[in-house]
Amino acid sequence: ELGKIISGFVLAVTAIIFIMGIFVRSDGILKNFMTSVAVAVAAIPEGLPAVVTIIMAMGVQRMSKKNVVIRKLKSVETLGGCSVICSDKTGTLTLNKMRVTELRCDESCKTKILQCMLACTTVKGEKGAYIGDPTEIALKIYADDNGFDKPFTRLAEIPFTSERKMMTVAADFDGERCNFVKGAPDILIEKCSFVLTGEGVKPLTKEFKRKITEENNAMSDDALRVLGFAYRSFDGAALEEGLIFLGLCGMTDGIKEGVKEAVAECKAAGVATVMITGDHVRTAFSIAKKLGIAEDMSEVISGEQLDSLPARERERAIADCRVFARVSPKHKNMIVKALKKRGKVVAMTGDGINDAPSIKTADIGIAMGKSGTDVTKSASDMVIADDNFTTIVAAVKEGRRISANIRKTIQFFLSTNLAEVLAILIASLVFFKFDFLLSTQLLWLNLITDSFPVLALGMEKEDADIMNRPPVRAEKSLFSKSSIASIAFFGLYITAVTVGVYAVGLKLYGNEVATALTFLTLSFLELFHAFNIRSERQSIFKCGIFTNKILLATVALGILVNVLLAISPFAGAFGLVSLTWRHWLAAVGLAASVIPVGEIYKLILRAVTRRKKKASPI
């Protein structure tokens, strides 16, 4: 869209200049063609794609030092507009170091539960150095701590799936063959017909179910992950019906350091944090409340509830909720699509193979470096090396800095190129009998003067309040009212000074001096304007004059190169004549005026913003 606007404007201006040259000045087709091409080259910021790519590449390098591996360059800029982060709970928000802290069962059931804990694991390794799923490792360690390490023979197995939320293993302990089942209590209890008590096996009545549900809810409210255990006799096949309920265990998983603060930082930045977990609704809410993700149970919904809702209500529920419990990978994809449909820029984390579709669908797919599978990493846009939510927030902050710096370089290119084209157009219409800027001068301005400050602008530090602003899509921020106003204001001011210098110089000193004076003034104007671009609203003095030393160096180098050109033997090739010290003083002084004018513009802008804030209802 930007390319179309620039191309259309440039073609119109070059056509006018070409026609004016042919019919009014009678310069000949070749000279007019060369001038028109020079204007087109000057107007089109052909260096912009390269500069933007370099800025993003430098951002990738900075992110790599913060445990972020960028796989797709475009995601660097997309991060700056991120409005929703959908994060897994386990391992990203929490430590993923489970520990059994509570066991609720009759004492007579403990041996059977320990058998179930031991059988229903796929943990490898020796005691003290187990390898496997953290939940299963916690169960294995609990059995070890209770001195239970009996050998058994595995007879059959129904592996755990996120849809069933259960695992069944048929095992032989000293000749006793049983089907052992562990899983989510609310699902497991529906598969049970009996319960083991101190008085033996009894039918699982409504009263027993109520007590088990209350105990499950109580532990979930304490932010514990709760597992249920059951068994039945083995009759040659692994079965999950007619089970005998044994009891519950609660496991704790500590919250990672800095996550709560990172969630608060996201909130201040207008970025919603969404927690996705396979845990019970109450467990999920308890942890989300501790982290500041959710304040009320109305912000929590389960995968089963999502499935039961009509499409329109489901989309509304997804937009309103901040915690999704008891979900499967298919729900992740559903959540991402619904949020994107509402215009959100969505980042989605994942580690398993089944997470790949949702990561691919998201605007920014984030794979976990430690726990993520190769399939998930291949589908992602970026990989978090330390599996930490705080790293994601740091990446968003860096993305905002990069996005802002890209916007600054585009504003610089557009405002200076607009000034060049408007100045040439006005001069062609008003001073058509005289030479304004030569084609070689225009090419010098575009290839040398414009190129010096842009990379330095790309290395600008972030504004202090960058994480206190609402997120904005990269394409929308470029065409925002404030961006267009800034481009137009500075473009018109530089045009006015340039044309004014030429008009006065033409009257007082003649065409050759006027052209040389105009060229140098415009060169210095563009270089000094880089200081205005450093921040859209903040004063250059608040940003710190010496905080971007590279920009100071490039502007100084740009001035030096232009001075050397003007006094070198090559000056004649660029249509430059010898100037007096008064001419040089006028060129530098008028060019430097763009900085105080920029300060006044920003002062007015800040005043208008404050007035709007006061006028807006709280």
Question: How many angstroms separate the CA atoms of 574 and 59, rounded?
Answer: 38
| Contact present, 454 and 51 (Cβ < 8 Å) | yes
With CA atoms as reference, report the closest residue to 59 among 43, 67, 70, 45: 70
With CA atoms as reference, report the closest residue to 262 among 463, 535, 60, 66: 66
| Contact present, 532 and 595 (Cβ < 8 Å) | yes
| Contact present, 256 and 193 (Cβ < 8 Å) | no
**DSSP result, 235-289:** SSS---SSEEEEEEEEEE-PBPTTHHHHHHHHHHTTPEEEEE-SS-HHHHHHHHH
Residue that the structure tokens 């350091």 belong to: 257
**DSSP result, 499-559:** HHHHHHHHHHH-HHHHHHHHHHHHHHHHHHHHHHHT-SSS-HHHH-TTS-HHHHHHHHHHH
Question: Encoding tokens for residue 313?
Answer: 């209500």
Question: How many angstroms separate the CA atoms of 274 and 264, rounded?
Answer: 13
Question: How many angstroms separate the CA atoms of 552 and 546, rounded?
Answer: 7
**Helix H or strand E encompassing 8:** helix 2-20
Question: How many angstroms separate the CA atoms of 277 and 281, rounded?
Answer: 9
| Contact present, 261 and 73 (Cβ < 8 Å) | no
Question: How many angstroms separate the CA atoms of 509 and 503, rounded?
Answer: 10
Q: How far is CA 354 from CA 165, 256, 349, 598, in A?
A: 15, 25, 12, 53
Distance of CA 401 to the CA centre of its chain: 11
List the catalytic residue out of 88, 279, 355, 387: 88
Task: Respond yes or no: is residue 88 known to be catalytic.
Answer: yes
Question: How many angstroms separate the CA atoms of 172 and 152, rounded?
Answer: 5
| Contact present, 498 and 529 (Cβ < 8 Å) | no
| Contact present, 428 and 17 (Cβ < 8 Å) | yes
Q: Residue 167's beta-bridge partner residues?
A: 182
Which residue type, as a one-letter code, is found at position 178?
C
Q: How many CB atoms lie within 10 A of CB 435?
A: 17
**Regarding beta strands 225-233 and 300-302, do their DSSP bridges make them parallel or antiparallel, or are they unpaired?**
unpaired
Q: How many CB atoms lie within 10 A of CB 441?
A: 25
Q: How many CB atoms lie within 10 A of CB 473?
A: 19
**Helix H or strand E encompassing 207:** helix 206-221
| Contact present, 198 and 108 (Cβ < 8 Å) | yes
Question: Encoding tokens for residue 169?
Answer: 């293993």
With CA atoms as reference, report the closest residue to 336 among 371, 360, 353, 354: 360
User: What amino acid positions are annotated as catalytic residues?
Assistant: 88
